[in-house]
Amino acid sequence: MRRTYRFYAQLGFTLLVCSFLILPVIMSVMAGVTENFFKGISSGVTLRWVVEVWDLYADTIFLSLVIAIACLACTIVLGIPAAYVLSKRQGRVARMIEELLTLPLAIPGLAIALALIITYGGFRDFRSSWVFILVGHVLYTLPFMMRSVLAVLSTADFRSLEEGAASVGAGFWRRFFDIVIPNCRAGIVAGALMVVTLSVGEFNITWMMHTPATKTLPVGLADSYASMRLEIGSAYTVVFLIMIIPLLVALQLYGQPKKKQAENFDDLEHLESRTAKSAHMRSKS
């Protein structure tokens, strides 16, 4: 196939947009490993700043991981059953709740945080522990888990699957764990990666809710940008990217809706009916 002028124009445009988006990331990474940003990369490459970030902010990194994992646990325990119940209900209320699940995207994180502080700020111990931030994260990420699981639940005929399992003797809990959960796995994995990614990177809610003792990675990042050398802030970005990129890659790999493997299904059916036909003819003659 001869590539036309138009093909190259489109390719060029795409590359231009990509580089516009990626360039700042590259610049930031470079700044994080440069001896002196103002002198440029010629001043030498060093991991000094990364080490310094580790010394100063290791606790924020751990806290972020702890919150992300706890958040994942909460969204799994709360989100999967909630999605399951919603998918079973046909009524208007259920559809309304489903619509409401898009709300966290529309409400600024600051507003969610403020609401939580107004409501629970009086409980001192709770207010000053990381669990308080966890609540904010769960509130924010739960809909993503639910929507992801709901999407899978609505594609397959789970009612029939459950009835099939019940007919051979499976009670509710066996059906739930043997049939529903395993067949939702794609949605759960996609939702889980989404939840962890969002939680690790969450800034708005966390920034409002954090105390000096409960800083997460993005809050520490803001802190370092505000009060440290530019190189340290950039090195911090490097650390953040190292954590988040594997998650994003995994999200791309597993988060895609699973392609139906039954593409050649028609062929199979066709083949079978043909063999049936020839068998039929043979038996006739």
Partner 1 sequence: MPQGTSIRLEGCAKTFEDGTRALEPMTLEIEGGETVVFLGPSGCGKTTTLRIIAGLENPDDGGRVFFDQEDVTDLPIEHRNVGMVFQSYALFPNMNVEENIAYGLKIRKLPRSEISTRVNEMLDMMHIHELRLRTIDQLSGGQRQRVALARAIAVQPKVLLLDEPLTALDALLRERLRVDIDELLRGLEITAIYVTHDQAEAMSLGDRIVVMNRGRVAQVGDPRAIYFEPEDAFVADFIGTMNHINGIVREGYFETEGGRIALRSAPEGASEIFFRPENATIVEVSKAMLAGRVSAAFFLGDRTRLIVEGVGQEKLTIEADGRAKYSEGDQIGIDIDPESVLTL
Rule CB under 8 A: say whether 179 interacts with partner 1.
yes
Tokens of 155: 């594609």
Nearest residue (CB) to partner 1, 122 versus 171? 171
Task: Write out the H or E segment, with its range, that includes residue 44.
Answer: strand 40-45
Work out which of 39, 88, 89, 280 binds partner 1, going by CB under 8 A: 280
Work out which of 5, 6, 125, 171 binds partner 1, going by CB under 8 A: 171
Rule CB under 8 A: say whether 151 interacts with partner 1.
no
**222 within 8 A of 203, measured Cβ to Cβ:** yes
What number of chain residues touch partner 1 (CB under 8 A)? 32
Provide the b/e sequence for 99-129 (b: ≥16 CB within 10 Å): eebeebeeeebeebbeebeeeeeeeeeebee
Rule CB under 8 A: say whether 122 interacts with partner 1.
no
From 99-107, 180-188, 214-222, 238-246, give the range in contact with partner 1 by CB under 8 A. 180-188
Nearest residue (CB) to partner 1, 51 versus 268? 268
Rule CB under 8 A: say whether 85 interacts with partner 1.
no
Q: What φ, ψ does residue 29 adopt, rounded to 5°?
A: -65, -45
Rule CB under 8 A: say whether 160 interacts with partner 1.
yes
> Which residues from 256-275 bind partner 1, rule CB under 8 A?
260-262, 265, 268-269, 271-273
Q: Within 10 Å of residue 131's Cβ, how many Cβ atoms?
A: 13
From 100-108, 120-128, 159-167, 225-233, give the range in contact with partner 1 by CB under 8 A. 159-167
Rule CB under 8 A: say whether 119 interacts with partner 1.
no
- The angle that helices 130-155 and 185-201 make with each other, rounded to 10 degrees, is 150
In the shown chain, the binding pattern of residues 185 to 204 toward partner 1, with x for contact by CB under 8 A and - for none, equals x-------------------
State the amino acid at position 9 in one-letter form.
Answer: A
Rule CB under 8 A: say whether 156 interacts with partner 1.
yes
Our measurement of the distance from residue 133's CA atom to the centroid of its chain's CA atoms, rounded to an integer in Å, reads 18
Query: In 3-state terms, the chain is what percent helix, strand and coil (to 5)?
Result: 80, 5, 15
The sign one gets for the Cα dihedral 212, 218, 224, 226 is negative
Q: Which residue has the tokens 């062929």?
A: 267
Nearest residue (CB) to partner 1, 122 versus 182? 182
From 55-63, 119-127, 173-181, 198-206, give the range in contact with partner 1 by CB under 8 A. 173-181
**101 within 8 A of 147, measured Cβ to Cβ:** yes
Q: How far is the CB of 262 from partner 1 (least distance, A)?
A: 5
Residues that bind partner 1 (CB under 8 A): 156-157, 160-161, 163-171, 174, 178-179, 182-183, 185, 260-262, 265, 268-269, 271-273, 276-277, 279-280
